[in-house]
A = this chain, B = another copy of it.
Amino acid sequence: MYQLGIVKRNIQRADRAAVDQLAGFGSATVHEALGRVGLMKPYLRPIYAGAHVAGTAVTVLLHPGDNWMMHVAAEQLQAGDVVVAAVTADCTDGFFGDLLATSFRAQGAVGLVIDAGVRDVKDLTAMGFPVWSKAISSKGTIKATLGSVNVTVVCAGAVVNPGDVIVADDDGVVVVPAALARQTADAAAAREAKETEKRARLAAGVLGLDMYGMRETLAQAGLKYID
Taking a contact as CB atoms closer than 8 A, the residue among B8, B90, B107 that contacts A41 in the complex is B90
When C-beta atoms are compared, the residue in chain B nearest to A150 turns out to be B226
- CB contacts (< 8 Å) of A74 on chain B: these are 207-209
The answer on a CB contact under 8 Å between B207 and A71 is: yes
Assess the B71–A214 pair: CB atoms within 8 A.
yes
- Decide yes or no whether A183 CB sits under 8 A from chain B: no
- Of B2, B89, B106, B170, which one neighbours A93 at CB under 8 angstroms? B89
User: Could you tell me the distance between the alpha carbons of A157 and B2 in the complex, rounded to whole angstroms?
Assistant: 12
Which B residue sits closest to A8, measured CB to CB? Answer: B226
Assess whether A98 is in contact with B142, with CB atoms less than 8 Å apart: no
When A74-B209, A144-B142 are in contact, do A64 and B37 touch as well, CB less than 8 Å? Answer: no
Chain A contact patch, size range: 35 or more
| Interchain nearest-CB distance for A108 vs B (Å) | 10
Q: How distant is A175 from chain B, measured CB to nearest CB, in Å?
A: 8
Residues of A2-18 contacting chain B, CB below 8 A: 2-10
Is A1 an interface residue, CB under 8 A from the partner? yes
Contact B4 A138 (CB under 8 A): no
Given A64-B91, A146-B218; 16 other pairs, CB 8 A cutoff: A1-B37, A8-B227, A49-B125, A52-B122, A63-B65, A65-B65, A71-B212, A74-B208, A90-B91, A99-B195, A106-B202, A107-B205, A121-B171, A138-B172, A154-B154, A154-B157
